[in-house]
Structure 1
Amino acid sequence: MSLEQCYKIYKQMKDFNKGWYIAGGWAIDLYLEKQTRNHHDIEIAIARNDQLYLKEYLHNWTFNKVIKGKLSFWENEYLELPIHEIHGKNDKTNDELEVLLNEIEFNDWKFRRDESITCKLDSFYRVTNKGIPYLSPEIVLLYKVRNTREKDHQDFKNVKDYLSFHKKAWLREAIMIHHPNHEWLEDLI
């Protein structure tokens, strides 16, 4: 999978009149403006409140919700926490997309695992020169501290030296609340 996949998603989503953002490892690579590792999937983040708008917008897609690690067909019910992940497949092209529901209200984002961790919406995402919206790297990294895999360590190593003092400080504080013994804290001083 290459950066072209991000442009393909951008073309698919450009007329969606709600906020959406490339998430996961691709967000790190968009921030760095280069592909740093292989990616096996692509994820976008949207506000939980926009889930039914997305389903209507991608009306040619079939969606499954993830409940306790298992996929089940998503009807049209409004998905509440703890459900936060949807998998979509375009019935015509077989394109696939993972959608992550985020707790966004007005101009604030709240970390679903600990709502005391927040940020303003304008800090939650960035936009590439070509107009592709993506999650800020510190938000992506916060999600990766829970069950950190080798690719997550690689993402952290690739981006940590490009984070501003403010972004590092926010991430350090958030990790201290969420996972106070995480090894990345040493590199965020």
Structure 2
Amino acid sequence: MTHEREPLRRTPEEVAEDERFFRWYGDWDPLDPDGVVAMMAGFERPWWIVGGWSIEAFTGVPREHEDVDVSLLGCDLTAFREHLGDAWHLWSNHGGTLRPFDDRHPEVLDVGSQVWIRRSAHDPWVVDMVPTPDRDGLWTNKRDPDHVAPLDDVTWVAATGVRYQRPEVTLLYKARLSRPKDDRDLAVTWPVLGADARAWLREAVARLYPGHAWLGGTMAG
């Protein structure tokens, strides 16, 4: 049985920001996880889905998504660019500054920023690649530089074979902005998180964001 997707909740400020974004950068028509799998077919380095889709995969509770966020280790960016070849246009995005990520510019502007992907200038963006800076091949936490771990400790593999970021890690990233969709993702995930994951997330949010509303709300239960 297919469940209807919950509409994405956005504030008026978010709607206005999206309208400004589209005027400057163009439209998005994001792939879904199946589309990402097709794009990444044959890529031999690890990659995983983060953001809202990783929450949906873990909880099984569907909602509308405005994009799809994919990650890989920074040390694998060159291999990723070579994998996509000329079939896709890759743009390094650092704070709104865009530059092609291609043979002319073989390095991204910042390994901790984003790589946007589309077919051509006439086509919408389809993937937001958010590279993860690595330390000697280990995953690092952009929010907490002291958190360094093997990839298997911070991701999980679904029955479909797709690797996703663990929900407690995704929620820690979401805590910084705490938008309506982030509050919703916490609400549907918290009841199905294990005790260890809950304890880790609660401690990390309290340490990085003292006084965060989540601590006295959903996480208090």
- What range is the shorter-chain TM-score in? 0.7 to 0.9
Partner of 1:188 in structure 2? 219
The structure richer in strand per residue is: 1
Equivalent residue of 1:98, what SS?
Answer: strand
CA offset at residue 178 of structure 1?
A: 1.8
Contact 2:117 2:126 in 1 (8 A): yes
Runs of 4+ with deviation above 6 angstroms: none
Q: 1:113-148: CA deviations, max 9, x gaps?
A: 331233432121111111111111111111111122
Flag structure 1 segments of 5+ consecutive residues without an equivalent: none
CA offset at residue 93 of structure 1?
A: 7.7
Partner of 2:164 in structure 1? 134
Partner of 1:12 in structure 2? 39
Equivalent residue of 1:102, what SS?
Answer: coil
Contact 1:169 1:188 in 2 (8 A): no
Are 1:162 and 2:162 matched, yes or no? no
Are 1:26 and 2:53 matched, yes or no? yes
CA–CA distance in structure 2, aligned partners of residues 181 and 94 of structure 1:
39
Letter matched to residue 100 of structure 2: F
Q: 1:103 to 1:174 in 2, by over 3 A?
A: farther
Are 1:84 and 2:117 matched, yes or no? no
Q: TM-score, normalised by structure 1?
A: 0.87
Partner of 1:48 in structure 2? 74
CA–CA distance in structure 1, aligned partners of residues 119 and 182 of structure 2:
28
Identity of aligned residues (%): 25
Flag structure 2 segments of 5+ consecutive residues without an equivalent: 6-30
The Cα RMSD (Å) is 2.3
Q: TM-score, normalised by structure 2?
A: 0.75
How many residues are matched? 186
Contact 2:132 2:142 in 1 (8 A): yes
Match of residue 83, structure 2, among 52, 57, 61: 57
